[in-house]
Structure formats: C-alpha cells, structure tokens
Amino acid sequence: MWVGTGESADVLLDAGPRHASSIWTRAYLRLLLSGDTACVLLACVCVLGVRLLSGIYIPAEEFMLGVGLVLAWPVALALGGAYRQRANGEGTDEFKAVLNGGVGLMAAVAIGAYATQTTIARSFVLAMLPLALIATLGFRYRMRKRLHRRRALGEYMRQVIAVGHRESILDLVMQFRRQPYHGMRIVGACLPAGRQDDDLDGIPILGTFGDVADVVARTGADAVAVLACPELDGTALRRLAWSLETARTDLFVAPALLDVAGPRISIRPVAGMPLLHVEHPEFDGARQFVKSVFDRLVALAALLLLALPLLVIAALIRATSPGPALFLQTRVGRGGREFRLVKFRTMVDGAERLKEGLPNEFDGVLFKMRNDPRITGIGAFLRRYSLDELPQLLNVVRGEMSLVGPRPPLREEVAQYGADVRRRLVVKPGMTGLWQVSGRSDLTWEESVRLDLRYVENWSLVLDLQILWKTWSVVARGEGAY
C-alpha cells in the first residue's frame, strides 16, 4: 500500500536518469485525450449514420447537439479524474474515473432533457454516450496493455530512490523487477547511518536518511519511496516532504501494514493528527454470502458448459496411460477442515509412492520439480494450461473451495505452518488467486505466502473478478506451470 504526495507534470519520452523521466507525461495524457475524443466522435458518427441509413430525418439541432457532446466528453472525463497522472497505468482508478465521467455526462444530458422537455437528446443518451463509454474503456485498456509492454522492455520507467532498511529495500527491488508494469525502477538507496553496505543487489547505496534530498538532486530521480522504519517518524517525514517540494519530487510512503489496502483503510483527523484507521476484514456476513452464491453459480454454469470437453480430457487420460482419469487428494480447507480435492490425473498411477528420492526444487514446504519424471505426456499439457484443475469446479459447487482464494494446501504442508502462515486458512482455498496471476510455480515459498496473506486481508468480490480476468491471459500463456 502506498500513500502518495505530490504530482509531477514533467514530460517523459525516455527512461533516462533525468528528473523529467516521470512516465505520466504531457505527451501520454495528450494521447489519451485524443483517443477519448476519437472514441466519442466515432460513437456520434455511428449513431447519426445509422439514422441516416434508416431514412430518418436529422434536424440541424441534433447535429449541433452531437458536436456539443463530442466536445463535452473529454471535459466530463477530466472532471471525473480520468486524466490524473496517478490514476493511469494500473489499478482500477482509471476505469472508475472514466465510468464516473461518462455516467455523469449521461445523467446531466438526461436531466437537462427532462427539465427542458426536450426529446431530441433521447437517442444520444440511449445510444451515443453508452457506445462512447464502451469504446473509451476499450481504448484505455489497450493503451494500458501497450504501456505494460513498453515497461517490460525497460522503457517509460519512473526513477525511484528507496529509503529504509536493507531487507525492506531488497524486497521492494525484487517486487519491482518481477512486476515492471508498476513503472518504477529503483536507481539508488538511502540506509540508516552507520551501515557499511556498498550496494543492494546491484542498487548503489548513495547516502543516509539525511542525504535524501541531495541524492535526488544528484541522480535526477523523480520519486522517493520511504519504507516503514522507526527512524523516519512524522516529523522526519514532514521535513523530507518539505525538502522535496521545490523540485516537485513525488513522495511515496509505505506504512507498516504493507498487506492491508483498499476500502479497509481510511485516514481520519483525530485531535489534530491524521490517524490511519484500519477496519477488520469481513470473513462472514452478507459479503461472504454473496461471494459463496457467486462462486457456486459460476462453477455450476462452467461445469454445464464444459461437460463435453471434460469428458474428452478424461478419455484422453485413460487412453494414454493406465489408471483412473481423476485424481483425489486430501487437502485442508477453511478453518483446517479437510476435504477431497478433485483433479485430472497428470502423473502415472501411484505417483505418490515414487516421490521418495526425487529432488525438491522449491525453497519451502511445497514439493516442486520442473521436469518431474512422473508426469505423463498429456499431463504436461494439462498442467501447462491448468486444465487439470477444471474438476475442482465440483469442489466449488460443494462449497469446499472458492473460485478465488489461497492455494489449497496438503496436510503435511499445514503441519509445517507457522502462526502467521495459518492465516491462509481463515478463507476457503481457491482454484486461482494472486499466486496464480503473479508467477504460479515460479514464485518462491515466501512470495506465495505473502500473496495469499494479501488476498486474505483484502478480499472482495471486485478483487475476485479482477483475478479471474487476469487468470485467462496467464493460463493462455502457460507461464510458470510445471
């Protein structure tokens, strides 16, 4: 979770070490503005074109209204916050801002038409503006994907100075390198006074906590990330913000509650102090009931739609290797309750007996092996595209699993859990989750645990929908599965 202060209006056209390297450039925002205007213009032309082709007479007033709506569209999006630098590139804020601006303009036109008893705007409200909204959301999505591809190549990155302790900075460096779509690159670090480190995994140590402003001036960095540490209290952070104010350098502060974000957090002024209020996660009640109903209905519908493909896969497994098509295994679910997980068999029959003597290539309690000799030919294909997990839809229908949640662990894994890791068991395990869309089997044990705990602390139906959406592209690429 990041609390950001400051805005950078500098233009970025490359990933150089200059302070002008902020990714949110005037050029990028102009491109968004041009694309949004093109979307609403296309929607206007389509609506008017259909009416003309249908032989419907269009008065001049309606043409003028169309022109007015085309001009008002980017203004409405701007009022909704669609052109704020920090809203674009990742997260849902960008799409929420577009929706707010588009729906707000629709409401304004509808109210205006009703108040003036005008019927001329009806077709625009019912056809043009919704079409413009859909086109704009599609355009923004494509622009985001294009931006992520450029960032994966190391372009359009924000240059960041990390301030904190060695372990925290190393973790941040690892996350930014693994997920370059965030658009941040650590170019230097400032550690507490007295540390003798020369560098942190290739990141140069450029000073201490008191040298941050000078380090920013020397490197031309356009952002500072302050990680949780006792030395930087409220007074020190306030002075740091003042020192960065003149150069308009962005300041990001990571509180100690790194895995808590979203609606659970709010800042409330109490006795003249801004206090961070953290609400408890909701594991029961109406929201959990809605999630359970959603999971079961979607899983049941998926089973009905995929019935024939599932039968074909089962037949291929039986035809290519001796043994049953399905593999049943005891897993641990919510609250430590055990259940029988259903999967397609991807290994030779009796693979568990052959496990002894095989090297574990994973660094935690899980057993993982990239070239496991027990995996069959059809099994390797099923694993690559996660088709072996489709029978788990039965577990979801029975209420033992969820569509989205932590990975369902084995008994022997749970036996090795510490107190913190057992937090994963307060929600139902899922067919997919943050671990699935963030690297799958390529993740380390610590990373997979951290992602599962992050999901537990911040779960919501909206987050589930986002993870389900991302799962499609991850599975299609077949990355990190073995």
How confident is the model at residue 478, as a pLDDT? 63
For the segment 91-136, what is each residue's pLDDT rounded down to a tens digit? Answer: 778 899 999 999 999 888 888 877 777 666 566 677 888 999 999 9
Which pLDDT score, from 0 to 100, does residue 341 have?
A: 95
| Residue 333, pLDDT score | 93
Positions of the chain with pLDDT under 70: 1-25, 57-58, 118-124, 195-198, 255-264, 271-273, 354-357, 359-370, 439-442, 478-482
Write down the pLDDT at residue 5.
39
CA atoms 363, 152, 179, 433: torsion sign: negative
Q: Is the pTM of this model over 0.85?
A: no
Residues in the chain: 482
Residues 6+ apart with CB under 8 A from 111: none
